[in-house]
Chain A
Amino acid sequence: MNISCAPLSTPLRVLAVEMQGDGDVIGRRLMELGFIQGAVVEVRHQAPFTSDPIAVMVRGMMVALRRYEAKRISVEPEAALGKTALEMGHP
């Protein structure tokens, strides 16, 4: 599942960020914002009417992403691993 179709207010664990080649600015920036493997994130808000962009809580900060950017981030429900949201960012 990628994060753009994840349910609201549900802890999610990041599996990977799809990188498209070396000069992939978007992929690198997503990682620098904290979307790294194992990080626990949560979709908190959607923009009115079109539900795009979405606002994601990652490493203690709310980050707005357009859905096409969010599609790069694959996640799974955090509960599947039986961890708590406090262990954010640890693989």
Chain B
Amino acid sequence: MSEKTNPVVALAGAPNAGKSVLFNALTGLNQKVANYPGVTVEKKSGLSSIWNGRRFLFIDLPGVYSLDPVSLDERVAIDVLLGQGIASKDTPPDVVVATIDASNLERTLGLAIELKDTGIPTIVALNMMDLAQRRGLKINANILSRELGCPVVPMVATNGDGISALMTKIDQFIPTNIPNAEGHAVHRPTAFKAVTSEIITKRFQRVDDILKKAVSSASKVDQLTWKIDKFVLHPLWGSLLLCVILIGLFQSVFTWAAPLADGIEMAVAALQGSSRLVLPDGMFRDLWTEGVLGGVGSVLVFLPQILMLFLFINLLEGSGYMARAAFILDRLMFKVGLQGRSFVPLLSSFACAIPGIMATRTIRDERDRITTIMVAPLITCSARLPVYTLLVGAFVPQRPGPIGISLQAWTMFFLFLAGVASAFLAASVTRLVRRRNEQTPFMLEMPSYRWPHWRYIGISLWLRALAFIKRAGTVILSLSVILWFLSSHPKAPDDATQPPIHYSAAAILGKTIEPLVAPLGFDWRIATSLVPGLAAREVMVSSLATVFAVEMSDAEAASTKTLQDKLRETWPPATAYALIAWYVFAPQCIATIATARRETASWRWPLLLIAYTLSLAWLAAFVTFRLFS
């Protein structure tokens, strides 16, 4: 069914009014996430199931406080409602559903009034009735509806209460005989007046007048939230709790995801093995097993870790804790040139910089957002781990270090810390470049605590996994194939004495860039394996193995051991340490650069990102090499 023929329903509402949960309840898995043209604001749309013989196309607008835009995503939401500007090519909505938080009408009712006043057909979804009851509020929806002059549907989106009543109202509001796309949006709202402080004050007065009539008991402060916050925001206990949550998060992400990752790795290896047996010898077989399966498989391995991390992030966000973490960390983040909202993107970057960079969309200040994007790739992502494990295992002595923890574990810990420290340092530099005392808006609402909504989390993890697999199947697949081609062509001559990769284009490239990395103690073999490492950092391990002609078909552990022995024989320790230092900083991931390009909508920032991380990597490796040789 074409989307053009479906009536369009826009969901508008303040942040934290439960709009996204309502959207999920209305559309289920039938949703599409895209960008609005030319901007990096996410556009979520989805079809409802069939209702009274037709489907509705729901658009989940970015959260807005009022119809007077302050940030880019608010601008987009308002343009969609008015059918102008950024969204002018989009189908304007036939109906707008103003999603408001029943437990917090003092704050959210104003937007419903504003929407109604524009002349767009408006239905009010009076969401979170359960929370309102918890706060002892008795709301008369009929009086509210009469005062507002539009239908009001009480509901609890998290358990589906009121969804069918809302669908019935939507259905009644839109004439059934819409002939074609031209029939849409007969109601053209008028442009808004500039908002002055008088208008805002008047709007709140009107809200208070309506509430006096429609709400019978005065709003009690949410006692539960207040009690939890006394602990969570306590200067000492709150900080300790944050530390415990972070440590627990990393511990469980790495331990719980490991068996799943091993499973994927084994499945890919098995698929490669059976493909080798089944397919005839030749270029196609190599392309399939090494290029396609090898390349895509090496990235898919990270899916469990990424999903696990996002499960935690969703839990923290859905419960209301994330805003508290941003509150606790804002000052520290501000000192280093970031802000409280940079916390989630940086946390995500421990799994992978790509979702981290995408999560910067919640940062309202553009400069803070760019800074966060620029430093996120310095956080130690999970793709660096295989390389660290290989090199630390080979070159750091296996003996106990301070407080009974092995030297190797200390080194790994130090490498993680180096990632965070370098990200903070890099961000501080931007603080120096910007005017010293320049402040950016922060103003963060801290929502009431509530139980995370499992269905919502399930759907968002599922969509996240799909997007990741799609990316692995397109961008990463094509890169892997190109890099496979470079490292296996031209073919070795018949009288070859060296492994085939020595004659390949990648080796030629490696030898060309060798003079550039020679001061770091890198020979052409390292330079060569840096090339395929561009697709995904961890590919460096397998390409080193290829260059050193180690038999990788043995059990993984055995072969890693063989490679480590081989490296120890060949490299002075200084070279290995320099390579580790290189990996802390190097922009070794095309997908991250591509994401930075897409999210900043310019080449300026990704190019600067490459330049500064490359310089840092070179300097760090150079200093390390000099220190140890």
A contacts, CB < 8 Å to B: 17, 19, 22, 25-34, 36-37, 39, 44-50, 52-53, 55, 57, 59-66, 68-69, 86, 88-91
Q: Which of B325-333, B351-359, B386-394, B607-615 contacts the other chain?
A: B325-333
Interface pair A64/B444, CB less than 8 Å apart: yes
**B594 is an interface residue with CB less than 8 A from chain A:** no
Asked if B204 is at the interface of the complex by the 8 Å CB criterion, the answer is yes
Answer yes or no: B179 CB below 8 A from chain A CBs. Answer: no
The reply to whether A63 and B444 contact each other, CB–CB distance below 8 Å, is yes
CA distance A39 to B195 in the complex (A): 19
In the assembled complex, the CB of B178 is this many whole angstroms from the nearest CB of chain A, namely: 35
Knowing A26-B441, A63-B443, A69-B443 touch, does A47 contact B331 (C-beta < 8 A)?
A: yes
Contacts of B66 in A (CB 8 A): 32
Q: Does B104 contact A (CB under 8 A)?
A: yes
With contacts A36-B201, A48-B328, A60-B219 known, is A28 near B107, CB below 8 A? no
Known interface pairs A31-B197, A34-B106, A57-B221; A65-B236 also in contact (CB < 8 Å): no
Q: Which residue of A lies closest to B197 (CB)?
A: A31
Contact B235 A48 (CB under 8 A): yes
A30 to B478, CA, bound (A): 49
Report the 4 A-B pairs with minimum CB-CB distance, sorted nearest first.
Answer: A48-B235, A62-B446, A59-B106, A45-B233
Cβ contact within 8 Å between B331 and A19: no
Task: Check: B239 CB closer than 8 A to any chain A CB.
Answer: yes
Residue B432 CB within 8 A of the other chain: no
Chain A residues near B200 (CB-CB < 8 A) = 28, 31-32, 36
Residues of B within 8 A of A45 (CB): 229, 233, 327
Chain A residues within an 8 Å CB radius of B110:
32
* B201 and chain A: residue at smallest CB distance: A36
Asked whether B65 is an interface residue with its Cβ less than 8 Å from the other chain, the reply is yes
B448 to chain A, nearest CB (A): 8
B628 within 8 A of A: no
CA distance A39 to B233 in the complex (A): 24
CA separation between A64 and B219, bound complex, in Å? 21
CA distance A34 to B205 in the complex (A): 11
Chain B residues closer than 8 Å to A52, beta-carbon distance: 330-331
The listed residue (A19, A47, A89) touching B327 by CB distance below 8 A is A47
B223 CB, nearest partner CB in chain A, Å: 13
Q: Spell out B's residues near A (CB within 8 Å).
A: 65-66, 68, 70, 103-104, 106-107, 110, 194-195, 197, 200-201, 204-205, 208, 218-219, 221, 225-226, 229, 233, 235-236, 238-239, 323, 326-328, 330-331, 334, 340, 439, 441-447
A61 B441 Cβ-Cβ under 8 A: no
Docked-complex contact A60 and B70, CB < 8 angstroms: no
Chain A residues with Cβ under 8 A from B445's Cβ?
33, 61-64
Number of A-B contacts defined by CB within 8 Å? 125
B107 near A61 (CB under 8 angstroms)?
A: yes
- Further contacts, 6 of them, CB under 8 A, given A36-B197, A55-B446, A63-B443: A22-B194, A26-B441, A28-B68, A64-B444, A65-B443, A89-B204
The distance in angstroms between the C-alpha atoms of A26 and B328, with both chains bound, is 21
Contact between B197 and A17, CB atoms less than 8 A apart: yes
With both beta carbons as reference points, the residue of chain A lying nearest to B444 in the complex is identified as A64
| Shortest distance between the CB of A88 and any CB in chain B (Å) | 7
| Cα-based distance from A60 to B223 in the complex (angstroms) | 11
A57–B204 alpha-carbon span in the complex (Å): 16
- Given A36-B204, A48-B239, is A53 in contact with B442 using a C-beta cutoff of 8 Å? yes
Residue of A with least CB distance to B237: A48
Q: How far is the CA of A31 from the CA of B208 in the complex (A)?
A: 15
Whether A25 contacts B70 by the Cβ 8 Å rule is yes
Question: Given contacts A28-B70, A89-B204, is CB(A60)–CB(B443) below 8 Å?
Answer: no
From the candidates A33, A48, A59, name the one contacting B238 in the complex (CB within 8 A).
A48
Q: Which of B201, B238, B239, B327 has the most CB of A within 10 A?
A: B327
Residues of B within 8 A of A25 (CB): 70, 441
Nearest residue, chain A, Cβ from B135: A60
Closest A residue to B242 by beta carbon equals A48
Tell me how far the C-beta of A56 lies from the nearest C-beta in chain B, rounded to whole angstroms: 10
Residues of B within 8 A of A61 (CB): 104, 107, 445-447
Give CA–CA (A44, B327) in the complex, Å. Answer: 13
Q: A39: nearest residue on chain B (CB-CB)?
A: B204
- CA A37 – CA B110 in complex, angstroms? 17
A-B contact pairs, 23 of them (CB 8 A): A19-B197, A22-B194, A29-B65, A29-B443, A32-B66, A36-B197, A36-B200, A37-B201, A47-B233, A47-B328, A47-B330, A49-B239, A59-B106, A60-B104, A60-B221, A61-B104, A63-B444, A64-B330, A64-B340, A64-B444, A66-B443, A86-B218, A89-B208
Known contacts: A29-B70, A34-B107. The answer to whether A66 contacts B197 by CB under 8 A is: no
A46 to B221, CA, bound (A): 19
Q: Cα distance A62–B208 when bound, in Å? A: 19
From A59, A61, A63, A88, name the one whose CB has the most chain B CB atoms within 10 angstroms: A61
CB < 8 Å neighbour of A49 from B194, B226, B331: B331
Q: Are A53 and B327 in contact (CB under 8 A)?
A: yes
- Say how far B612's CB is from chain A's closest CB, in angstroms: 28
